[in-house]
Structure 1
Amino acid sequence: METGRPRVVCLCGSMRLRELFESERRRLTAESVIVLAPEPVDVEPTASMREALGALHLRRIDLADEVRVLSRGGVLGEATRREIAYARERNKPVTFLEPTLDM
């Protein structure tokens, strides 16, 4: 990582955990970290929209110095597991807010 620039962390996990995303975003921002995370949409996404949003999130991972995985109860969905694999393939450090049951 370059010196003199803030660390960039991409949050991954289920969008059903909005409060957890917001809490971690606030905590990291207070530590002067740039936070990248998916944003909720106001409509029920179609299959093509879901695919486009997934691709957009992979670009966030590309920009990040670290990927932070958020979960509750250690359970990870299929999309989050794919994002973790994508990050690891690109040698991005992957950290977990809590221990996971299936990784």
Structure 2
Amino acid sequence: MSDPGDQRVDMRSAKQLLALPPIVVICGSTRFMTEMNEADLRETEAGRIVVKPACDMKSPHELWSDPVEAEALKVRLDDLHRAKIRLADEVLVVGGYIGDSTRAEITYARSLGKPVRFTHPEVDPDVD
């Protein structure tokens, strides 16, 4: 397997060759889905490509009605969201609360050198 750093260089070059607008990934608790949708609208209006969580597992749905299948799905969705973070040029954290999952996403994004913005900067775990 190649070095992930090499993949970032290749991704950056590919985005430039394709003349893609900036890609922003929205992160945060799914309790803020309404706010995520609003952020999606505003980021899109600003000319950015937006990727965000699509599944709100806190709301009932047949895809996660079985607890065993729901846990496996959550693992797959977490992996998919980390892939969205790798794809993105920057991260936008939505909402006034940072839980363990969102905190891990912020840490992951920063480890990749991704800029992280907050709709509520006071919740930034790296600001005292």
**TM-score over 0.5 for the alignment?**
yes
Equivalence for 2:73: 49
The structure whose Rg is larger is 2
Normalised by the length of structure 2, the TM-score is 0.72
What CA distance in whole angstroms lies between the structure 1 residues aligned with 2:122 and 2:73? 28
Alpha-carbon distance, 1:102 to partner: 6.0
Unpaired runs of 5+ residues, structure 1, are none
Percent sequence identity is: 35
Distance 1:66 1:49, change over 3 A: same
What CA distance in whole angstroms lies between the structure 2 residues aligned with 1:100 and 1:79? 18
Equivalence for 1:20: 35
Q: Using CA pairs below 8 Å that are at least 6 residues apart, which structure has the higher relative contact order?
A: 1
Equivalence for 1:93: 115
Alpha-carbon distance, 1:100 to partner: 3.2
The one-letter amino acid paired with 2:89 is D
Unpaired runs of 5+ residues, structure 2, are 1-11
1:65 corresponds to which of 84, 89, 97:
89
What CA distance in whole angstroms lies between the structure 1 residues aligned with 2:24 and 2:51? 6
More helix by share: 2
What CA distance in whole angstroms lies between the structure 1 residues aligned with 2:124 and 2:37? 24
